Amino acid sequence: MNRLQTISYRQMSILFFIFMTGSSSINIPGPLISKSDNAAWLSILIAGGLGLCMLACMLFLQRQYPDMTYVEYSQTLIGTWPTVILSIGALAFIWHTESGIILDISLFMVSSMQRESPLYIYSLLISIVSALAVRAGLEVMTRMFILIMIPVAFSIAWVLLMAIPTYSPESLLPIMPNGIKPILNGAYTAFGFPYAEVFLFAMLLKFTNQGQGSKLTRAMILSLLINIIVLCATTVCTIMAYGPLAGTTKYTLYMIARNIEFQEIITRIESIIGFALISASFMKASITLYVFSLFVTQLLKLNDYRLVVTPLALLGFLLTLVGYDSITQWGNISVGMIQPLWVWVSLAFPMLLLTLVAYFKKGNLQG
C-alpha cells in the first residue's frame, strides 16, 4: 500500500504534457482571443515563457532535493510553519482547480450537447471516476492516461486538419491594432490558466526513477515547448476559421468541428471534440486530485494519501455545486479578474521564494 510508485522520465514528461494541454487546447482559445484579438498567440508565447521560468525554478529545486516533493523541501528550506502559511493559498487554489475542471466538463455538456440534463450528474460521475483513478496510484494513472491521450491528440489534430477549407489566413491581420496592452492582458490571463499550473508538478517530480535528472529536465522543457506550440496552433486556426467572431464563442474547437463538411460524408463530427474534452479534463482532474491528496497528506504528516482521496473528491464536487453564484461570477473567478492574481500570490511567489532561498543556501554551502 505504501510502496513508493515511480515512473520513467518519459512517462513524467508525457503526463505533464497531458496535464498542460488536455483541456486548455479546447477552453483557452475563445476567451483569450476575446482579450487579445488576433495577437492571442503572442499572449500564449509570453505566458508560456513565464511558465518556462516557473518550470526552471521547479527543476532547479528538484535537482537540489531529488528525493523530496515541494512540501518536503519547503519544510527543509523555510521551516514547517512558514510552509503551512504559504501552503494555504496553494491548497485553496488546487481545490479551486479541481472543482473548476469538473465544473467545466459539466458546463460543456449542459451547454453544448445535453441541455436538459442537470449539472450535478456529470460533476458527480467525473468526481467518482477521478477518485477511483487516484486510488489506483500514479503508475496505473500514467499508463492509462498515455493510452487515452493518443486518440485525444489524434482527434484534435484531425479536426484542425479537416477544417483547413474553412480557414482564411487574411483574418490573422491586423495583429496589434490597439497596441500592446491587449497582448499583456491576454498573457496575464493565460498565465493564470494554464501556465501557472506547472506548479502542481513540483509535487510529482520526486516520483521519477532515480538517476534520470538531466533527462527529466530536457523532457519536461520539451513537453512545455510542445504544449506552447499546440496552443498557439489551435488559437491561430481558430482565428483563421472564425475571424472577428473567434472571441465570441467559448468552445471554439467544438464549433470548428461542427462546421466540418467533407464530401457530404463526414459532417457534424463535434462529438469527437466532446469526447476529447471529457477525456482530457478527466485526466487533468485526476492528476489535480492526486496532487491535492498528496499535498494534504505531506503537510499534515499523514501515512497514506489514499485516506483523504474520497473526502477531497467530495469537497471538489460540492464546490462545483455551491462555489459560484452566477455564470458571471464564475467567469470573473475562473479566467477573468481573480485567478491570474491568485496564481501569482499563491503559486508563483512561494516558488520564487523557495528558489531564492535554495540558491543562496547552495551558495553558502559551496562558499
Partner 1 sequence: MVERSIVFAVAYGLVILHDWIFIKSNMGKKERGVRYALLLIAIYMGFDYVTASDFYDLYDFVEFFLREPGTAIVNILTK
Residue 311 CB, nearest approach to partner 1 (Å): 4
- Which residue, 17 or 93, is less far from partner 1 as judged by CB? 93
Please select the residue that binds partner 1; options are 321, 352, 353, 357, rule is CB under 8 A.
Answer: 321
Residue with cell 477573468: 336
Pick the stretch among 109-117, 223-231, 268-276, 333-341 that binds partner 1 (CB under 8 A): 333-341
Please select the residue that binds partner 1; options are 57, 71, 289, 319, rule is CB under 8 A.
Answer: 319
Residues 188-247 within binding reach of partner 1 (CB under 8 A): 188
C-alpha cell at 96: 479551486
According to the binding rule CB under 8 A, does residue 312 interact with partner 1?
yes
According to the binding rule CB under 8 A, does residue 184 interact with partner 1?
yes
According to the binding rule CB under 8 A, does residue 129 interact with partner 1?
no
- Which residue, 49 or 323, is less far from partner 1 as judged by CB? 323
According to the binding rule CB under 8 A, does residue 158 interact with partner 1?
no
Q: How far apart are CA 169 and CA 42, in angstroms?
A: 16
- Which residue, 67 or 304, is less far from partner 1 as judged by CB? 304
Count of residues for the chain? 367
Residue 317 CB, nearest approach to partner 1 (Å): 6
According to the binding rule CB under 8 A, does residue 324 interact with partner 1?
yes
Residue 310 CB, nearest approach to partner 1 (Å): 5
Alpha carbon distance, N-terminus to C-terminus of the chain: 43
According to the binding rule CB under 8 A, does residue 71 interact with partner 1?
no
Residue 156 CB, nearest approach to partner 1 (Å): 30
- Which residue, 98 or 270, is less far from partner 1 as judged by CB? 98
Q: How far apart are CA 50 and CA 348, in angstroms?
A: 10
- Which residue, 119 or 144, is less far from partner 1 as judged by CB? 119
Residues 335-354 within binding reach of partner 1 (CB under 8 A): 336-338, 340-342, 345
- Which residue, 147 or 322, is less far from partner 1 as judged by CB? 322
Residue 196 CB, nearest approach to partner 1 (Å): 14
Q: How far apart are CA 315 and CA 309, in angstroms?
A: 10
- Which residue, 232 or 313, is less far from partner 1 as judged by CB? 313
290: Cα separation from own chain's centroid: 14
Neighbours of 168 (CB within 10 A): 11
According to the binding rule CB under 8 A, does residue 308 interact with partner 1?
yes
Residue 185 CB, nearest approach to partner 1 (Å): 4
According to the binding rule CB under 8 A, does residue 96 interact with partner 1?
yes
According to the binding rule CB under 8 A, does residue 137 interact with partner 1?
no
Binding-site size for partner 1 (CB under 8 A) equals 46
According to the binding rule CB under 8 A, does residue 100 interact with partner 1?
no
- Which residue, 135 or 215, is less far from partner 1 as judged by CB? 135
According to the binding rule CB under 8 A, does residue 53 interact with partner 1?
no
Please give, one letter per residue, the 3-state secondary structure of the chain.
CCCCCCECHHHHHHHHHHHHHCCHHHHCHHHHHHHHHHHHHHHHHHHHHHHHHHHHHHHHHHHHCCCCCHHHHHHHHHCHHHHHHHHHHHHHHHHHHHHHHHHHHHHHHHHHHCCCCCHHHHHHHHHHHHHHHHHHCHHHHHHHHHHHHHHHHHHHHHHHHHCHHHCCHHHHCCCCCCCCHHHHHHHHHHHHCCHHHHHHHHHCHHHECCCCHHHHHHHHHHHHHHHHHHHHHHHHHHHHHHHHHHHHCCCHHHHHHHCCEECCCEECCHHHHHHHHHHHHHHHHHHHHHHHHHHHHHHCCCCCCHHHHHHHHHHHHHHHHHCCCCHHHHHHHHHHCCHHHHHHHHHHHHHHHHHHHHHHHHHHHHC
**Which residues of this protein are in contact with partner 1, per CB under 8 A?**
92, 95-96, 120, 124, 127-128, 131, 135, 181-182, 184-185, 188, 296, 300-304, 306-308, 310-315, 317-319, 321-325, 329, 333, 336-338, 340-342, 345
